[in-house]
Chain A
Amino acid sequence: MRSYAFRIAKSKIISVILTLVTLISTIPFLLVLYFIVKNGISVINWEFITHLPTPVGEPGGGILNALVGTVILIFIALILSVPFGVLVGIFLAEKSGSKISFFVRMMSEILQGVPSIVVGIIAYLWVVKPMGHFSALSGGVALGIMMLPVIIKSTEEILKLIPVEIKEASLALGVPYYKTILRVMLPAGLSGILSGILAGTARIAGETAPLLFTAFGNPFLNFNILKPISAMPLLIFNYAISPYEDWWAKAWGASCILVFFVLTLNVITRLISSRK
């Protein structure tokens, strides 16, 4: 039999290795953060977030068009996917064992795995082609589709976590089924549903591919959802592949803002779901 000291040492070594590996796994993210902040922070100032882009060669200018565009696109995606996703989530949680649920759950999981560029093509076929031109609406549809599985899943999971006794308590008071769902189950699961929505938003905020041939991009400020619109990831993409040094710097600045936006959403999601 090996000595006690040997076993202690072995345990220590394994423990140190695991700790190291765990810490190493955070390096890619920290590097991303480091480079983005290093290159982006110097570009960000008040003008950067309140002005439209200037023509190439002219100094100054900002990314207001992309900021507004991203907000509008997220808003459209939320309007389309939240009511739909929450209702589907309720169905899946309530009729958990039914054949329809099995089928829908599988479809939703597959949808989650569909490459974002393909979702973009579908939005192109559904919205851009019939309308005849690119639009914020088509981009919102694409992002909404991407968000849908996240919201369905989180709503279903959170509702399933609510003890059945809570539901029975309501029914036993003579509260009809639909009121039990609306007034007892949904409020009880609200924080989980909200964090699902935020997680979904964080997921789509940085999506570029589905917007390439839907929202398309727009160097001007646009509030009309039927017209093409810019978005942060689109602007970053276009600026990064451009030949102008000034645009590269702006792409770093926009990346910096986008990353911190997504980071904030994730932190809020964490806070909401850990508050319980």
Chain B
Amino acid sequence: MIDIVLRAENLTASYDDHIVVKNVNLSIVRNSITAVMGPSGCGKTTLIRCFNRMHELSPKAKVEGKVYLIENLNGRREEIDIYSVDPMIVRRKIGMVFQKPNPFPTMSIYENVIAGYILNGIKLKKSEADELVEETLRKVSLWDEVKDRLKKKGTFLSGGQQQRLCIARALAMKPDIILLDEPTSALDPVATAKIEELLEQLKNTVTIVIVTHNVGQAGRISDFVAFMYLGELLEYGPTDTVFTRPLNEKTEEFLAGKIG
């Protein structure tokens, strides 16, 4: 049986009566990389912002439909309707990485990694914090680059390093899923390659949903791919299948670079 971690049912999202995501039904497989692609303005970012309830922060934003997070607790499956619980809890379980690297400017590298704990007032012992910082920075292969300057501000790092720091910040909360919103669009090809490589290693511990504008990137790293067009989910399936035998002609046109 396929292990599902997140399920969206009839999800519709709008800004000020302008519908951006139309009636999307989608199940995300645990410990996989799902790429959401589609032309600009197709609603891919809005879709993933509905998954951790960030969409509702925009003025006049509205969400209809259901999103369930499925957790495995000691072998018992538990479904959480994320729109019926505290959004703060949802956002700790479903992390997010943004388009532009955004480490907290007033915090050191060390503090940025455990920012979720510091800002939420969750107390960590010094040894626990040290361990968590090292472990997380190793996961994003940043440890060796920054271990001698953990007390320096995160904003002194290069763009790619900052983005890996932001991934570490999300991972440190030990989320079930991390959502990445075009995380490499502001980075150079070398930094992009590093992040892609990193994501493939991370999927053993966390489920990854990545929005990307870049067909090549979706093809390189994703297990599943969702194609959105004008707010609708037109096609969703294993990446190999969708890339070689797309069912929808719009998908084919997008893959061929005719729309986008």
Contact = CB atoms under 8 A, between A and B. Distances in A.
Contact of A173 (B99, B103, B173): B173
Given A170-B119, A184-B119, A175 B102 contact: no
Interface string A147-170: 000000000000000010110111
Interface in B68-122: 87-92, 95-96, 98-100, 102-106, 115-116, 118-121
B166 A171 contact: no
A187 interface: yes
Contacts of B99: 165
Interface string B154-176: 00000000000010011001000
A173 B105 contact: no
A177 to B, nearest CB: 9
B100 A171 contact: no
Contacts of A171: 54, 57, 91
A165 B119 contact: no
A179 B102 contact: no
Contacts of A183: 118-119
A180 B95 contact: no
A173 B120 contact: yes
A97, A180, A183, A188 interface centre (most CB from chain B within 10 Å): A183
Contacts of A175: 88, 116, 119-120
A157 to B, nearest CB: 17
A183 B118 CA distance: 9
A193 to B, nearest CB: 13
Contacts of B102: 163, 165-166, 168-169
B222 interface: no
B54, B100, B104, B119 interface centre (most CB from chain A within 10 Å): B119
B56 to A, nearest CB: 11
A166 B105 contact: yes
Interface in B186-234: none
Nearest to A176: B88
B206 to A, nearest CB: 15
A174 B104 contact: no
A97 B58 CA distance: 13
A12 B57 CA distance: 55
Interface range for A: 20 to 34
B211 to A, nearest CB: 14
A23 interface: no
B115 to A, nearest CB: 6
B52 interface: yes
A168 B98 contact: yes
A173 B95 contact: yes
B115, B166, B170 interface centre (most CB from chain A within 10 Å): B115
A109 B181 CA distance: 40
A118 B106 CA distance: 41
A34 B52 CA distance: 64
Nearest to B173: A173
Contacts of A173: 91-92, 95, 115-116, 119-120, 169-170, 173
A170 B95 contact: no
Given A179-B120, A183-B119, A184-B119, A172 B104 contact: no
B98 A174 contact: no
A171 B119 CA distance: 10
Nearest to B57: A171
Given A166-B102, A184-B104, A172 B119 contact: no
A180 B119 contact: yes
Contacts of A97: 59
A171 B91 CA distance: 8
B105 A188 contact: yes
Contact of B96 (A163, A172, A179): A172
Given A168-B54, A168-B98, A180-B119, A174 B106 contact: no
Given A165-B98, A165-B100, A174 B92 contact: yes
A99 to B, nearest CB: 14
Given A176-B88, A179-B120, A180-B119, A169 B106 contact: no
A209 B179 CA distance: 59
Given A168-B98, A169-B104, A174 B54 contact: no
Across the A-B interface, give the 9 residue pairs with the lowest CB-CB distance, nearest first.
A174-B92, A165-B102, A173-B116, A174-B91, A172-B96, A175-B119, A187-B106, A174-B88, A169-B102
18 contacts: A163-B100, A163-B102, A165-B99, A166-B102, A168-B96, A169-B103, A169-B166, A169-B169, A170-B104, A170-B115, A172-B52, A172-B170, A173-B91, A174-B88, A174-B92, A174-B120, A179-B120, A188-B106
